[in-house]
Structure 1
Amino acid sequence: MFGIDKMANCEELPTRRLLMMSTTSTSFQLKAEHRKIEGGSSSKRLRKQGRLPAVVYGQGIESTSLSVDAREFINYVRYKGLTDVIHLAVDGKKSIPVMIKDVQRQDANWLHVDLIKIDKNKPIKVRVPLEYIGTAPGTKSGGILDIQETSVEVEGLPDHIPASIAIDVSSLDISEKLLVKDVPWPEHVSLLTQADIILASVVLPSTLEANDEASSQAVAQETEATS
């Protein structure tokens, strides 16, 4: 993405309303089974059986290979997102609180998920996706909404981490930009992303093309210098 903050006549926006999805925990319990590591073929076989290979690790537990019901897990993530607390029960034993650390996907196929054990009484750092809502007036005047950040990093107790944060761009006109510091962020979490980072802006097509070309040239020059 190009640096719109370097363009002339760009004015900072006043504080804008930010909408946040509910952070209430649903105490979802995910049932898992131990699995043996037998090479890549075993993972393929599990996926054909409707199971999703997984691993859980974290403080106080050994790294353990698991499998979970693929449909149940994927439907839950689509509904609640990637930042919710999950209660993981392995082989019918007492559940432990975990969060999704990483998901491996190839196109529309879910391949593997990493789960990490957490302490619900200790803050964690996580990236939360941003959801841009509304129609920027500048786009009705020939401008293009240029989204530069799709997530921000926050720190807070697991139950306070939102599934996503929705940002209203309905007041964004041509040559205006929205910075991290321009929006009020959710209570009970600390924002770790730098305040002067640009989230989104509305620019003219010619400006976008010129800056994209400049960015491509800079990358090419850097590649040549390091080769």
Structure 2
Amino acid sequence: MKTVEIIGFKRANLGKSEAKRLRADSQVPCVLYGGDEQIHFSAPMILFRELVYTDEAHFVHLNIEGKEFQAVLQDIQFHPVSEVILHVDFLQIFEGKKLKMDIPVHFEGTSPGVAKGGTLIKKRRHLRVLALPKDMPEHIVVDLGKLDFGRAVKVNEIEVSNFEILDSSIASVAVVEVPRALRGKTDEEEDGVGEEVEEAATPEGGDE
């Protein structure tokens, strides 16, 4: 997994007024948890672009006034209107200790159901993963190649390697909905197949 570096500065003062002042200076108030102590710091907002506005998961290398930490983004708060970053929580991580992360899902392949006119519904865009830092994936690939009408890709069908998906194993990740215009036609085709099978199974002279 790729690593993004964030350079921060310890906060001498806490509170809403100080946080507001930091944001006015294009700084993001942050907290680092998970170690021996909580560290309150701020970092330039521009450094979060590669970490936040991406479809890949990342580790974070924090450099807080020369002291270095390995971490992951734990929580982020945005302004409801401007979408400016208001606050960020980081979780310190350690080699040899498993951690949980929300990992983006990448959908690959062409769904036969979509090719026939169906609509792909993405039920989950992230999955909760448990793994050692060295085994944590940047994203999880979901193959749509066999996804036809009325079918769903479930969590237990996803290939995993040295990590565990914590979402329910029977949860749907993607489904293909049949368009309303095709629903009757699809039912008729299924009925037709059923009739053909029934006729083929009836022996000659069965009415005698």
TM-score (norm 2): 0.75
Answering whether residue 49 of structure 2 is matched by residue 74 of structure 1, we say yes
- Per the TM alignment, residue 38 of structure 1 is displaced from its structure 2 partner at its CA by 4.4
CA distance in 2, matches of 1:143, 1:76: 34
Partner of 1:102: 75
- 2:5 partner amino acid: Q
Q: Contact 1:57 / 1:115 at 8 angstroms: preserved in 2?
A: yes
CA distance in 2, matches of 1:129, 1:109: 22
- 1:130 partner amino acid: V
Q: Contact 1:131 / 1:167 at 8 angstroms: preserved in 2?
A: yes
**C-alpha RMSD over aligned residues:** 2.3
- 1:46 partner amino acid: L
1:53 to 18, 29, 51: 29
2:134 to 144, 159, 163: 159
TM-score (norm 1): 0.70
Query: Paired residues, what number?
Result: 179
2:18 to 42, 48, 69: 42
- Per the TM alignment, residue 103 of structure 1 is displaced from its structure 2 partner at its CA by 1.0
CA distance in 1, matches of 2:125, 2:119: 16
Partner of 1:188: 162
Q: Greater Rg, structure 1 or structure 2?
A: 2
Alpha-carbon distance change, 106 to 132 in structure 1, aligned in 2, over 3 angstroms = farther
For structure 1, the residue ranges without an aligned partner over 5 or more in a row are 1-22, 207-227
Q: Contact 1:176 / 1:202 at 8 angstroms: preserved in 2?
A: yes
- 1:140 partner amino acid: A
Larger RCO (CA within 8 A; separation ≥ 6): 1
4+ residue stretches of structure 1 with deviation over 6 A? none
- Per the TM alignment, residue 156 of structure 1 is displaced from its structure 2 partner at its CA by 1.0
Q: Contact 1:154 / 1:192 at 8 angstroms: preserved in 2?
A: yes
Q: Contact 1:84 / 1:162 at 8 angstroms: preserved in 2?
A: no
Partner of 1:223: none
